[in-house]
Amino acid sequence: MKIRRYMANNMQEAINKVKIDLGTDAVILNTRKVKRPGLFSFLRAPLIEVLASVEEEENEVRTLADVANPKVEELENKVKNMEGMLDKIYQQMSEMQRNSSNNTNSNAKQEDTTSKIYKVFVDNMKQNDVEDTVIDEILKSLKEQGIDNNSNVNEVFAIFKKELINRLGVSEQIKVDNSKPKVIIFLGPTGVGKTTTLAKIAANFMIKEGKKVGLITADTYRIAAVEQLKTYSEIMGTPITVIYSPKEMKDAIKKNSDAELILIDTPGKSHRNKKHFDEIKEIYRAAEPDETYLLISATTKPKDCKDIINAYSFVDNYKLIFTKVDETSSLGVLLNVRELTGKPLSYVTTGQSVPDDIEIADVESISKKLLGNS
Ligand SMILES: Nc1nc2c(ncn2[C@@H]2O[C@H](COP(=O)(O)OP(=O)(O)OP(=O)(O)O)[C@@H](O)[C@H]2O)c(=O)[nH]1
Ligand SMILES: [Mg+2]
């Protein structure tokens, strides 16, 4: 991937520079205002700095399914850390088992070892902020299945992992429906990453899968919000329709009827403010989406998660996207929310870069992470 930095007097000029230099496949990674150098710089408008990137290999076609994005090395390191961590646990456990069998073979000792092994994984889930009620459910389920008395570390790990994989369910992603445009709406609390995630998904489908994507934004409350999505849409060369009232939604969807995917961005409105939040409901109802994605940050506190889930209970069917998993070392929120809602996991986002920092939610690796203590 080629990454370049551009300075310009305004956004349009910056975008033109990016397009000329990197072509229309380029993607904006970041924009910011920069103070001009010099004594009287405060008298003049700031410069715009744009960081843009383009894939270097022309024929390289990757899909989201490839999960392994340019951060393969980083992921490999994570896996290595995980393996190291599990090795450590195994060593601790084996030591414990040896000691207990050296001392005596009594049933009491055996039970002690068993409960210590279970405790390691329970503690690791707690460290990952898995809620106590969820852990109780897991232990209850193992008991009911008669698999709560194993003293082999590998087997206990496998038992917990299987239970977590089952609980996290099958991860579901956006699929293009060839017969008609699929209308998809993105909902979630303020600043959770709706616009960025929508841009990542749009870019992945357009650039990597060659699909026709239409963008609609109902977020006209902040100039910056429309600009943000417009910038992405210009770089990707796909149109964006801005709607100023839910009444305009139907026409906006019709206007994009030649697209395979129509992605709708919604404004960040606090669910604590009823009047503002009612607008979100109106936008949602006007869209009559085929699919809805609720975004929750992996850094959200448990109590706030519950409030968010309650607030969005007006949506019958939605899938879960967890954002900002790069900002936390504990993934408990993913399991807690899944337990509370029963809704399918879909994607996780792992950083600010468009389009790379998004992955399919992989329930196996999430389960391993929940049982580790790295
Ligand atoms: N670290 C990290 N930051 C992210 C991620 N996704 C989005 N962000 C950042 O979070 C901030 C808010 O992102 P937006 O996409 O504007 O969020 P939004 O939900 O559209 O915000 P509103 O429209 O104001 O509600 C930006 O600075 C993003 O770069 C992520 O996965 N990891
Ligand atoms: Mg937004």
Residues 63-110 have pLDDT tens digits of 454 444 545 666 666 666 666 767 766 666 666 666 655 655 666 666
| The pLDDT value given to residue 134 | 97
Protein residues with CB under 6 Å of any ligand 1 atom: 188, 190-196, 219, 225, 267-268, 323-324, 326-327, 349-352, 357
Residue 16 has pLDDT above 80, yes or no: yes
**Ligand 1 atom with least separation from CA of 30:** 29
Domain boundary among 126, 141, 168: 168
Min mean pLDDT across 88-92, 115-119, 193-197, 245-249 is at: 88-92
DSSP 272: T
| The pLDDT value given to residue 102 | 60
Q: Which strands make up the sheet holding 47-54, listed edge to edge?
A: 2-8, 47-54, 27-34
* Mean pLDDT along residues 181-185: 97
Distance (Å) from CA 191 to ligand 1 centroid: 5
| The pLDDT value given to residue 60 | 41
- Percentage of the chain surpassing pLDDT 70? 82
Shared-domain flag, residues 267 and 339: yes
Cα 187 to Cα 81, 151, 173, 245, 300, distances in angstroms: 34, 45, 16, 17, 15
Range(s) of the domain holding residue 139 = 72-168
Shared-domain flag, residues 214 and 108: no
Q: What is the mean pLDDT of the chain?
A: 85
Bigger pLDDT: 366 vs 2: 366
| The pLDDT value given to residue 82 | 66
**Residues, CB within 5 angstroms of ligand 2 (ion):** 194-195
Question: How many structural domains compose the chain?
Answer: 3
Q: Report how far Cα 83 is from the mean position of its chain's Cα atoms.
A: 24
Scan for tokens 């080629």, then name that residue: 2
Shared-domain flag, residues 197 and 332: yes
Domain boundary among 136, 168, 200: 168
Domain annotation covers residue 16: yes
Domain annotation covers residue 223: yes
**Ligand 1 atom with least separation from CA of 265:** 20
| The pLDDT value given to residue 284 | 97
Please give the model's pTM, rounded to 2 decimal places.
Answer: 0.77
DSSP 50: E
Q: Please give the Cα distance from 200 to 219 (Å, whole number).
A: 17
| Rounded to 5°, angle at Cα 195 from 194 and 201 | 90
- Percentage of the chain surpassing pLDDT 90? 51
Shared-domain flag, residues 162 and 262: no
Radius of gyration of the chain (CA): 24
Report the nearest-CA residue for atom 23 of ligand 1: 268
| Rounded to 5°, angle at Cα 360 from 355 and 362 | 145
DSSP H/E element including 229: helix 223-236
| The pLDDT value given to residue 292 | 98
| The pLDDT value given to residue 62 | 45
Shared-domain flag, residues 202 and 330: yes
| The pLDDT value given to residue 66 | 47
Min mean pLDDT across 145-149, 180-184, 190-194 is at: 145-149
Residue 25 has pLDDT above 80, yes or no: no
**Ligand 1 atom with least separation from CA of 191:** 21
Confidence band, pLDDT 50/70/90 cuts, at residue 233: confident
pLDDT digits (tens, 9 = 90+) for 235-294: 778 889 999 899 999 999 999 999 999 999 999 888 888 888 899 999 999 999 999 999
| The pLDDT value given to residue 61 | 40
Shared-domain flag, residues 261 and 301: yes
| The pLDDT value given to residue 49 | 81
Q: Count how many residues are written for the chain.
A: 374
| The pLDDT value given to residue 58 | 44
Shared-domain flag, residues 259 and 356: yes
